[in-house]
Amino acid sequence: MKFRMLLVTAALLVFASLSFADDYAVLLFISNNPGYGPMFILNTTCPGQTPIPDGQMIDIWWDADNNGPTPNDIQPPVGNPEDGGTVTFNQFPMNGLVDLDQEGTFYTADPLVTNGNVPLPGLNRFYLIVNTATAKWTSEPFTASRTSATPQMWEALVWGCEPIQSCVPDTFVVLTPTNLPFPNVQHVANCVTLCRNYTSVICVGPIEDLTNVPHLFVRPGCLPINTWCDDTCHAAAGWIVAPWLFTNIGGFNYYCTSIVLLPDGVEGCVCVEVDFIEPVNFESFGAVSGDNSVTVNWIAASETDLANYEVVRNGEVVERVNPEADKTYSYTDSRATNGTTYSYKVVGVGINGERVESNTMEATPMAGLAVITAYDLKQNYPNPFNPTTSITFDVKDENFVTLKVFNAMGQEVASLVNGLRSNGRYNVHFDSKDLTSGLYFYTIKIGNEFSATKKMLLVK
């Protein structure tokens, strides 16, 4: 023990005489005497990383070609010479003891070389690698000798440190549904890992209709119980999301955004969810001519994150209407002039700026046309059609109206109207994208007062 202490003291004297500036340096002490092994005195830690923990394994590598650490190097074989061995061990744990008031002293009691048992060649070059969870340390090569006249030696080694990114970020994620073109699905989602000092770019598409702005939701964690994702990971906390930016990638249109952790945010995963539910789904729309006026009526089947409606006449917004609980709306344009034909449509505007338009209808105000005076069902237009067409009907008095579409076998394929309608002219949009070509019938029933059926031809 006293002999080991003397060797350590000598090693520390050498260490004290060295100047390492900003290098990562340790003092390496190697003893060829049985019972005394390598010793390391840590001079500094890897920037931003924790010190090497106790019990961390140190790997010994053989610089056989004497050109420093390379991918072709191997660890020296362990075992007897007759078995091809050259060292007694090529890995040992750090114990982190404080020796002679030197904090961070690591050593093993086993010798690297047992002189009379496993001889080394006359000159050998080695280096050490320490892999921790946060960093990889690699020493410069050192020389170990079997010369019995030199029972021990020490060298000041410069160590390189490579911080290991424990958080692996998802820096670019494209959400592409299988049912193209987007947005022919309700939603898509992906689990995204957010890391400090990294930006995660999220793109959605390809998108054909640029008026369909995605609805974005970013939720902590990816568990399926409260997200659309299905993954087990540590939930992130504290981030900011940039506004959508339209871009073209490889000739296709995408909406892209970015997510960045706040300085005090927590690294982890989030479920990025994109919903393409439109802010409004129109059930019916109509424009009724009056005397120097036109009344625009519409009913919404559903409203999601809707900011307001815009009533558009000849391409100009003439009124904005706030959402109502019953989703039934009417606006009278009293600035119309008899004998002039106007085109009208209603645009639903989402809180994210997404716009959904109704069909366009023309109306010509004239004296004596203040109200609809008879029930009627018009021929759809266009006809034949593919895949959409419009159906117009008139309601004389407030009544319960149903409008249904049937195939040639008499099977119902769509229900377009099912509810009360007041006096007016209505226009209903019919989309046959999921139907096959052929002859179809649409039937209207207005209370017990009126019913009618007309034919239409779908040609794909």
Poorest-pLDDT segment among 2-11, 195-204, 375-384: 2-11
pLDDT digits over 148-196, tens only?
333 334 455 667 777 666 788 999 999 886 655 554 445 788 999 999 8
CA distance 253 to 212: 12
CB 297 within 8 A of CB 361: no
Is 50 exceeded by the pLDDT of residue 42? no
CA distance 282 to 260: 37
For residue 94, give every residue at least 6 positions away whose Cβ sits within 8 Å of its Cβ, in sequence order, or none. 40, 52, 53, 54, 55, 56, 57, 58, 106, 130
Asked whether the domain spanning 376-458 has the same topology as the one spanning 281-363, the reply is yes
Residues 256-285 as b or e (16 or more Cβ within 10 Å = b): bbbbbbeeebebbbbbbbbbbebbbebbbb
Give the position of tokens 């990971």: 233
pLDDT recorded at residue 33: 45
pLDDT recorded at residue 30: 45
Q: Where are the domains of the chain?
A: 2-163, 172-275, 281-363, 376-458
Mean local confidence (pLDDT), 19-36 = 40
For residue 386, give every residue at least 6 positions away whose Cβ sits within 8 Å of its Cβ, in sequence order, or none. 432, 458, 459, 460
As a whole number of Å, the CA-based R_g of the chain is 40
Poorest-pLDDT segment among 8-17, 27-36, 273-282: 8-17
Is 80 exceeded by the pLDDT of residue 294? yes
CA distance 396 to 391: 17
Is 90 exceeded by the pLDDT of residue 369? no
Q: Does domain 281-363 sit in CATH 1.20.1260.10?
A: no
pLDDT recorded at residue 157: 61
Mean local confidence (pLDDT), 317-346 = 92
pLDDT digits over 187-228, tens only?
788 999 999 889 999 998 887 766 667 778 888 989 887 677
Q: Which residues pair with 393 in a beta bridge?
A: 377, 426
Is 80 exceeded by the pLDDT of residue 381? yes
CA distance 59 to 37: 14
Among candidate residues 31, 179, 56, the one with its CA nearest the CA of residue 114:
31
pLDDT recorded at residue 74: 85
Helices (H) and strands (E) in the chain, counts: 1, 33
CB 234 within 8 A of CB 246: no
pLDDT recorded at residue 118: 38
pLDDT recorded at residue 354: 73
Mean of all residue pLDDT scores within the chain? 75
- Residue 329's pLDDT band, with cuts at 50, 70 and 90, is very high
pLDDT recorded at residue 443: 96
Alpha helices in 68-175 (DSSP H): none
207: left (phi over 0), alpha (psi -120 to 50) or beta: beta
Predicted structure pTM score: 0.38
Q: Which CATH number fits domain 376-458: 1.10.10.10, 2.60.40.2550, 3.40.50.300, 3.30.565.10?
A: 2.60.40.2550
pLDDT digits over 50-103, tens only?
556 666 777 888 887 788 888 888 887 777 766 767 666 777 776 555 444 444
CB 385 within 8 A of CB 373: no
pLDDT recorded at residue 35: 44
Poorest-pLDDT segment among 13-22, 32-41, 293-302: 13-22
CB 297 within 8 A of CB 338: no
Edge to edge, what strands does the sheet with 280-289 contain? 328-333, 294-303, 280-289, 424-431, 388-395, 376-377
pLDDT digits over 239-259, tens only?
998 888 888 888 888 889 999
